[in-house]
Chains A and B, each alone.
Chain A
């Protein structure tokens, strides 16, 4: 099973700041990595697929990069609605796996 390790566990930032979230895979997943946002009491929402492609309706301030084992989700200029938990997920191998999540909290 491919293990995804997200860091940091918690990111404390102010609105308007840039957020950089990391996801590292235990083996190469090529570019088969997605990012999700989850707010309290809500289902997750797909942000990024195949490492760098924004899903439909996702604002341009969200961007993804990386390939192989190291990936980054960047939020350029945090809006109040962006404070949430973010998960990465790989689809390179069965079983599919998620990272443990990064909480972006208001500083």
Chain B
């Protein structure tokens, strides 16, 4: 079955960096786009970034553009989110999510990893 497992979250000071990983299994990883979606404590969902199946196309939310970088290693079935210049407002649970076959929705999600930005 499809499984997405996030890791790399933790407590970090403002201005520092953190790299999240999303390890996938149970499907042909290199055929699907992967997204990061975050959720601040007690708040709604916010889409963060996406990378296409081949890594050639990437899009970002305005709130993270220039600070976050999404990448993937299809040989390891893993997507990464490099987060630089972190701010308190980046505090959230970060989910990775898989596109469905037509890019019509996020049909599988990980359990999330918590990032807390605090001094």
Contacts and interface: CB of A to CB of B under 8 A. Distances in A.
Interface in A55-107: 55-56, 87, 89, 91, 94-101
Contact of B59 (A34, A95, A97, A100): A95
Interface in B76-104: 95, 97, 100, 103-104
Contacts, number: 65
14 contacts: A32-B104, A43-B110, A43-B112, A44-B109, A46-B100, A46-B106, A55-B107, A87-B44, A89-B45, A95-B60, A95-B62, A96-B59, A98-B37, A98-B46
Interface of B: 35, 37, 44-47, 50, 59-62, 95, 97, 100, 103-107, 109-112
Interface of A: 1, 32, 34, 36, 38, 43-46, 48-50, 53, 55-56, 87, 89, 91, 94-101
